[in-house]
Amino acid sequence: MRLKVNRIMNLIKKLLIGTGLGVVYSIAIAAPNCEVTIESNDQVSWDTPTITISKACKNFTVILTHTGQLNKDIMGHNWVLTKQQDMEAVAKSVVTEKLTDFINKEDPRIIAYTPMISGGEKTTVELDVSKLEIGQKYTYFCSYPEHSDLMNGLLEVVD
C-alpha cells in the first residue's frame, strides 16, 4: 500500500515538473531569502539600491564583494546600517573623527557594519532581524569619505 502511494506521489511530481508547475510549486513553498550579495567596484558604486528583509528570517546575512583592484586606502568599501535619519550625521562624523577604516565602533546609531575591504576582497555581516522594526526606514552606505552619496541604499523589513 505504502509503495503504491509513493508511486502515485512520484507520478504527480513528474507530471508537475513536466508541465513546469513543479517550479511554481517549489517557489510557493520556499523559505524566505535571508541573504543578499552586494557587488561593489572601483567606480565608487555597488549594484544593490534596496534590500527587503522578511520578518520570517531570524538572521539576515549581508555579503559585500569588491570586484575592483584598488586598495582600501584609496577605494575602500564597507556596508554600514543606520536608521535613515541618522545616516548623514554618521557619514559625516567618520571623516572628522579620522577613524581607522572610517567607522566608530562605539557609535550607538550604527546598527551593523562590515570591515572595510579592498578590491578582490569579500566581507559579511549578520543582522539580528528581531532588532529591526517593520515600518522603520533604514539606510545602508559605505562610510569611506565621500562614498555615501553614491553608495547607499534603502533597507526595509516586511512581515
Coil, strand or helix at 35: strand
| Minimal distance, residue 142 CB to Co ion, in Å | 3
Coil, strand or helix at 132: coil
Q: Which three three-digit cell numbers place residue 73?
A: 586606502
Q: Does 147 bind Co ion (CB under 5 A)?
A: yes
Query: CA-CA distance, 50 to 152, in Å (whole number)?
Result: 9
Give, as ranges, the residues between 75 and 94 that touch Co ion (CB under 5 A): 77
Q: Does 66 bind Co ion (CB under 5 A)?
A: no
What number of chain residues touch Co ion (CB under 5 A)?
Answer: 4
Residue 87 has what DSSP assignment? H
Q: Does 142 bind Co ion (CB under 5 A)?
A: yes
Q: Which helix (H) or strand (E) segment is 13 a member of?
A: helix 2-19
Which one of the spans 4-12, 70-78, 85-93, 122-130 is the region binding Co ion (CB under 5 A)?
70-78
Binding positions for Co ion, rule: CB under 5 A: 77, 142, 144, 147
